[in-house]
Structure 1
């Protein structure tokens, strides 16, 4: 393949020569994708290789990387400058706010220049000498990817178990060590979820095993330290492949609970932490019935959607456990205006994490019935409960932030309302007074008002000339909350207006907001995003020819849909790890996550869902027309959106699009869904697409 050799050499060529390079061309190979409703032609299906060893496939991906290198060569100075600016806005030796649990204070700390933090603990006082639990910089040495994604200390404080991934495919390995001596036990368990719980005996570890093919967590297992993994006891197996599974302890540590959930249903079974063998179901699963239960004192507190679309809180006395849901009593009734997102029980009160008017906020409810909201001073913001490990306190920790205000950790007294600042996340070289944040409401084509969070630097004129960078996600009921991003400051300082479109498919405006943006309503997410863009341009926040859009994963599906539906509205679209081959993926139950997501996208075995997904699937709707400039990113080892989805999409776009706008495909050959690991590696990756974006938007100095 002569063009492959050429692209390898052209990475060092001049910008003029780079522009003349021919983009990689993927071979077309006839293939019919079967379905219950007829076959579809997929000429690039051959790019799928589950072993990730096919030489022809790897050659194509490497050629795309070489082509991207060549096209971006002239932007290397700007990329380096953006990287340096972002790093300058990060306090490199930053540390977390210590929290107390079981007599010890835990925190994490970065050393200057380190990609990964140290995790430490101190006995008795937050100022006592530190014991290092995890030296992650040392643990990561020799690995192209490293993630420590869960860890748990035994109840007697002697041992720590953790889950690590050195590939990026989220197939974690469980390990255990003695904290005092550093001795690592021989017990090693592979292919697990990052979800670990100790039983009260300090010897038994509960974990979730993954199916080796689909990578679905499906079995709750118990491992006794020092015994063969083959002797591990299965506590529960979830046989419905549309459910995921997890394990955790209640706030008072009295119970261990195994939870299973799907998009529309939950089931939780709990057992005493001292005897995690016989589990009692809190309430049996039913379709469209969701709940999660926690325990403190002599009662359960349960968040549920039963009779409350936006959720409510109910209580269940220990003495009434046998009666099940019939004995539930309302603690906080449901509301059409307030969506209850989470809660945390304390002795004497409950902290409630909720959404109202598109913002996330906290309120405290005492056992006497007094309700106290935590106040905010900005139009668009987010609060969230922080780490609160000990329930016997009047002080509740929470975080606050906005697109202007750096994340701040507070604690508030539930009795007096006194508030104390524990930490303001340092952002060196950043002055919040130089920026403005707004909340506007953009009308969608069906009349729905879409909340939009906006930030820009003071002095940027609202005269229809500014460049706009618009982001959204809009799936799974996941809401996108505003926050300061060190990597965004350089964009704002160059006059870019940044906007988060809180489109349907998230839950910013409650459960109905999600219902109106998934299954047979999914296209609302796409049209909401487009209508937000058109509104911001019409209101002169941006110039019509200077709009960049970005989304990742399911937000990458959004970008693919927008690219097909309204390419003329965007100068550039950035799609990271995009889920773009919806129909083919949802037809294949062997692909990780597929069966979980039938209630998100629909089961294509059902023809109405098949037809609807086919009508918006980005890969299936690529047409012979002009598209905006595109930057597409993926990871070869991605287990959530397989690399071949964006690879096929890019190949088909190259073959069909009629424009001469650049199309760049960046493949991380050693990473998964989240890209390369390490904070500085991520900044480097971001600086690349940021430089490309600024050049496409014609930002001065880029």
Structure 2
């Protein structure tokens, strides 16, 4: 790669901040512009984009080749498996070079009389970015509510369509969270309004079709900004729910779906530290609760006993080494999702006490319950995938677990699953715990002799577990001899709730140490060459990348750092920024002196120093609503100032996208091709 071009140099404007008698100076604080209109800032971002493009120009052919490879594996004309919901079956299709899907419904599973509900390509035609949010058909099946985001900020507009006439209704709801829940009268909907500064949903409004949004009634407002807000409906569709979730506390309010003009009331008293999921089918409420159960247990209550936890009936007890992740209720059975030793499983229970486990073949895999809208169904739909098995949709009979493959993802080209192998390792790290690692490689390109390039991915936050899932895009690396590894570090729930708790707040350093120690072990065990190790992560995984290159920059030849959370301390001190106050229980509240110094010790931006750093590619979206664009922008500017090496530091901003990157099924491949070309190009010198 050409390195003779001069990178953009940002001006320095000292900005001093003092907290707890500790003073910091941020020379690049000026890069923040909430309106994203400052010409000087936009010019600098354009200059960075031009520099990135110029430095990658030598590998433009490779990048184009990678894009075509990945696109070439995708079936252009494809459809989802129809699913029955009420009187109709629903499915979506994509065709040709279309970026987006068309959504249909029909009267039978064969979709012989399918009716077009939405053509997202037409909706997106006028926009550089388009994301379809929620789609919700009214209980009488005659109206469709859907939401759309046209700039990546995740601020959705809700629109309504008459499915009999095909005409759009005049009703338009702006500045929403995107979710829409219908009352059973098919004319009243509920939605969450966003705070346009913090981008948090905090108010629930009731809208009656045919009236202006200005007449909508505020039915609930959450005063505690630590809570995320969402909407839902009970399994039996008798109740509408307001879901409130802080990092460590849950609250749910309910309203009869038959009485939309009534008031929402709490189902349980809000108790700090009590997290639970709840659903209702018939006369019973079912709770997946951590009350006296760190890894959760399943309980049942009636309306009369719901407010008295001592009277709840225990259906599944707490287990020290098994995490109870969720449930799906059917009239004849209920299906629970569990995780033990890092592996997901599904257990089917009847209501008399008998149970059995659904069976899969791979040693390590990802599986999840699919869309199962019908509680009277006799089968449960399950999504399945592994590092070597393309995405598969199965239906299992609830009565006996008979498995039917409904569809498996087709991978075009020369893909043969037999050419690839996956492994699950357990690597002992510095404090004695064993970290699970999932990895995959192409058999004829891999030698366990420390010669292969290796890409290690990690996330490690919010209790989110990155399961080993098939990606046809990763084949482009595997076919070039790369080993791909997922480090299931602390901060996820891979090994239960304790695994999450040991990777957040005061224990956050464990996440970084785990990732570093896994890298060292993979090299020592011969899975990767010491001078060909790459790492990648996005969002909270971008924080992981920033922290790891500060503490062990010598381990990595190249880093992919995407929509990264890098300026942790300054962000968590600013309650006007999205995802601050409601994440104190994840990162700590730096208004508390102890938490301040904990975050200060690892915050990537605050810990940059004069040192040699790896080659780094940073990407973001100007309209990112989760991690603001100025965090990576500042980090890159400061790193350019301090780093003592001549390695590449490239920064690419998508001027049209948000946190999720480019929209559309093909556009997003350009971002993946950029990172792959960056890594492969470093190997080529």
Cα offsets for 1:468-496 (capped at 9, x unmatched)? 00001110000001111111111101110
* Residues 558-567 or 416-425, more deviating: 416-425
Cα offsets for 1:439-490 (capped at 9, x unmatched)? 0001110011000001000121111100000001110000001111111111
1:147 maps onto 2:139 in alignment: no
Counterpart position of 1:493: 479
SS at match of 2:299: strand
Counterpart position of 1:120: 104
1:27 maps onto 2:37 in alignment: no
1:644 maps onto 2:630 in alignment: yes
**5+ unaligned residues in a row in structure 2: which ranges?**
none
Counterpart position of 1:421: 405
Alignment: residue pair count: 682
Q: CA deviation at 1:288?
A: 1.2
Counterpart position of 1:332: 316
Counterpart position of 2:193: 209
* Residues 70-79 or 416-425, more deviating: 416-425
SS at match of 1:246: strand
Pick the aligned partner of 1:433 from 412, 418, 423.
Answer: 418
Cα offsets for 1:475-521 (capped at 9, x unmatched)? 00000011111111111011100000000000011100000000000
Mapped partners of 1:490, 1:319: distance in 2: 58
Mapped partners of 2:363, 2:564: distance in 1: 31
**5+ unaligned residues in a row in structure 1: which ranges?**
1-14
Pick the aligned partner of 1:456 from 441, 444, 454.
Answer: 441
1:96 maps onto 2:88 in alignment: no
Mapped partners of 1:36, 1:178: distance in 2: 58
Counterpart position of 1:279: 264
SS at match of 1:664: strand
Mapped partners of 2:412, 2:71: distance in 1: 9
What are the equivalent positions in structure 2 for 1:470-549 lying under 5 Å apart? 470-549=456-535
Contact kept, 8 Å, 2:277 with 2:326, in 1: the verdict is no
Mapped partners of 1:355, 1:561: distance in 2: 29
Contact kept, 8 Å, 1:547 with 1:697, in 2: the verdict is no
Counterpart position of 1:586: 572
SS at match of 1:640: coil
Q: CA deviation at 1:280?
A: 3.2
Contact kept, 8 Å, 1:282 with 1:324, in 2: the verdict is no
Contact kept, 8 Å, 1:411 with 1:421, in 2: the verdict is yes
Q: CA deviation at 1:37?
A: 3.9
* Residues 118-127 or 24-33, more deviating: 118-127
Q: CA deviation at 1:383?
A: 1.3
Provide runs of 4+ in structure 1 moved above 4 Å.
none
Mapped partners of 1:605, 1:46: distance in 2: 23
1:355 maps onto 2:339 in alignment: yes
Counterpart position of 2:542: 556
Mapped partners of 2:120, 2:658: distance in 1: 19
Contact kept, 8 Å, 1:35 with 1:587, in 2: the verdict is no
1:225 maps onto 2:209 in alignment: yes
SS at match of 1:23: coil
Contact kept, 8 Å, 1:37 with 1:607, in 2: the verdict is no
Mapped partners of 1:84, 1:494: distance in 2: 15
Contact kept, 8 Å, 1:164 with 1:173, in 2: the verdict is yes
SS at match of 1:292: strand
What are the equivalent positions in structure 2 for 1:568-583 lying under 5 Å apart? 568-583=554-569
SS at match of 2:404: strand
Contact kept, 8 Å, 1:408 with 1:424, in 2: the verdict is yes
Contact kept, 8 Å, 2:103 with 2:116, in 1: the verdict is yes
Contact kept, 8 Å, 1:517 with 1:523, in 2: the verdict is yes
SS at match of 2:133: strand
Contact kept, 8 Å, 2:105 with 2:111, in 1: the verdict is no
Q: CA deviation at 1:319?
A: 4.0
The 3 A distance-change label for structure 1 pair 34 and 180 is farther
Mapped partners of 2:120, 2:657: distance in 1: 18
Counterpart position of 1:654: 640
Counterpart position of 1:57: 41
SS at match of 1:318: coil
Mapped partners of 1:578, 1:363: distance in 2: 37
Contact kept, 8 Å, 1:548 with 1:697, in 2: the verdict is no
Counterpart position of 1:395: 379
Mapped partners of 2:38, 2:401: distance in 1: 62
1:695 maps onto 2:681 in alignment: yes
Counterpart position of 1:3: none
Q: What value does the CA root-mean-square deviation take over the aligned residues?
A: 1.1
Mapped partners of 1:140, 1:376: distance in 2: 39
Cα offsets for 1:554-609 (capped at 9, x unmatched)? 00000000010100010011100000000000000000111111000000000111
Q: CA deviation at 1:326?
A: 3.1
1:380 maps onto 2:364 in alignment: yes
Q: CA deviation at 1:370?
A: 1.3
Counterpart position of 1:263: 247
1:294 maps onto 2:292 in alignment: no
Mapped partners of 1:697, 1:163: distance in 2: 44
1:663 maps onto 2:649 in alignment: yes
Counterpart position of 1:467: 453
Q: Using structure 1 for the length normalisation, give the TM-score.
A: 0.96
* Residues 500-509 or 346-355, more deviating: 346-355
What are the equivalent positions in structure 2 for 1:74-85 lying under 5 Å apart? 74-85=58-69
Counterpart position of 1:622: 608
